[in-house]
Chain A
Amino acid sequence: MAINLSKGDRINLSKDNPGLQKVRVGLSWDTKPGITADLDASVFLLGEDEKLIGDDGLIFYNNTTSAEGAVVHSGDNRTGAGDGDDETINIELSKVNPKVKSILVVLTSYAEQGSEKINFGRVKNATARLYDGASGKVLNEFDLSEDMSDATSMEMVKIYRNNNEWKLAAIGEKAGSSYNGLEDVLNRYSK
């Protein structure tokens, strides 16, 4: 049975799931009736200095596979329609570049030039699920029940190394409210 996480929780992935090599993070959301919202899952590969290891450390809709193939983005879902996860990120822990200290998963909104800004007030039931990538079993679930109305970007979960073990932190913190959600997060983590 999936273990529900609350904001601020930290779990030891390696201890709780010995032998775990592949994980999948699935993000899902629903829009309020009559409203559309284009949300995006993205991954920031951060080094010891808590900054992006390079331009290619951002895995997102324009760059869906990391250099060593460790992180693969499922592709862009522009409407959030349908049941189940809307966007997923597959991570093969053993392939992650040794320079990478943490893998930050964010959820951001996207507005095309000329359209109105999309904030999370339009969204409900934003959820991050962690799966065992090999068996497909849901390990953890993190529901963002808090109201994030004016945000356009949110840090969801962070998977990080500590003493040769992989851990996960449930964050659930607003990152910014600029027109293009991803920009605020990029500014925060660029060198």
Chain B
Amino acid sequence: MDLGKKGSILKKGSSVNISKTHAGLKKLRLALMWEFKPGQDADLDASALMLGSDGKTLGEGTMAWHKNLVHCRQAVVHQGDIRSADDLDEGENMGKETIDIDLSLICEHVKEILAVITTYSEEEPVLFGRVKNAGVVLSKLKEGGATEALYNCDLSEDISNYTSMEVARFYRDEKGEWNFQPVGKGIGKSPLGFRDVLLKYNPYFKEEEEEG
């Protein structure tokens, strides 16, 4: 049983102005969590995209994911990859990936930080239906590495048939204040889940063409 505190419940789609509710809060940890179903495995990867005012990524270096753990002077740091249920210790079945964000270091032209989760397969698509109780917890990062959970959202509905999902976003509103919004919306169904994310958000992404 998970005895960790998770903060207040936020419904999918509802936003909270964290500049207002937690004035001065800059360092955050976003944890994406799920449970593996018995006998089923899935390689889930969390990533964070930095989007400009056109809602697209700003260039090669603006994604923090397992291939590029640190973005932009430590503004966004991906804590590493739990690749599969095999990585877990005996008796555990919870998967988790975390991304740390320092809002004070986010560049001016970044209007949104979008956290996504994708599956990876070289054969049949591995759908989110293989895991259950997917959720997100937003915590305050305190001195010394301690965390304090602020908000949590259950994302398990409506995502079973996808291989990529928009988890949550941090966006600047018209006043420049940061807002947090759990999303929980599926993006695509390709075996390489991240491909659909790139197609949607990265204007520089070109699919490799078949040889011959």
Contact = CB atoms under 8 A, between A and B. Distances in A.
B144 A62 contact: no
B147 A113 contact: yes
Interface stretch (A86-94, A95-103, A179-187): A179-187
B5 A61 contact: yes
Contacts of A113: 4, 146-147
B146 A115 contact: yes
Contacts of A183: 3
B5 A110 contact: yes
A76 B1 contact: no
A58 B1 contact: yes
Interface string A161-191: 0000000000000000000101100100000
A114 interface: yes
B1 A55 contact: yes
B2 interface: yes
Interface string A50-87: 00000100101110000000000000100000000000
Interface residues of A, number: 15
Interface size class on chain B is: 10 to 19
A112 interface: yes
Contacts of A61: 5
B5 A112 contact: yes
Nearest to B149: A112
A58 B3 CA distance: 11
Interface string B127-162: 000000000000000101111110000000000000
B66 interface: no
Nearest to B146: A114
Contact of A114 (B1, B3, B145, B149): B145
A137 B142 CA distance: 42
B4 to A, nearest CB: 8
Contacts of B142: 112, 114-115
Contacts of A110: 5
Contacts of B146: 112-115
A112 B148 contact: yes
Contacts of B5: 61-62, 76, 110, 112
A61 B144 CA distance: 25
B101 to A, nearest CB: 17
Interface in B59-77: none
Contacts of B145: 114
9 contacts: A60-B3, A62-B2, A62-B6, A76-B5, A112-B142, A112-B147, A113-B146, A183-B3, A186-B1
Interface of A: 55, 58, 60-62, 76, 110, 112-115, 180, 182-183, 186
